[in-house]
Amino acid sequence: EAGVAQSPRYKIIEKRQSVAFWCNPISGHATLYWYQQILGQGPKLLIQFQNNGVVDDSQLPKDRFSAERLKGVDSTLKIQPAKLEDSAVYLCASSFGLAGGKPGELFFGEGSRLTVL
């Protein structure tokens, strides 16, 4: 079974530039998450989708971050304009959602590491 795919793995940009990350979840997983993991910390949820609807985006800095999951499958996370403090690993995860699977069993991709200079 293919895992969660993310790209690019690494990205270096100047501050005020824009960047986009892509995620393809495990086939059949209804729920998709984007997490931000700053060095030395645990992941923090940015946004959660159930199919193509947003369940929780309370911690998404909406003035600069946006995310979409138009067809309920893959998703894109965009940052525009980037700030120095956005340097982090952006992890995408998916799960079966409310039905099936062990509670809280999220399947994570390898992440996209962003460096803002």
Residues of this chain that interact with other proteins (CB under 8 A) are: 3, 33, 40-45, 48, 56, 89, 91, 93, 98, 102-111, 113
Which C-beta is closer to other proteins: that of 22 or that of 81? 22
Least distance CB 108 / other proteins (angstroms): 4
Least distance CB 5 / other proteins (angstroms): 11
Which C-beta is closer to other proteins: that of 85 or that of 105? 105
Least distance CB 79 / other proteins (angstroms): 19
Which C-beta is closer to other proteins: that of 69 or that of 95? 95
Q: What single letter denotes the amino acid at residue 5? A: A
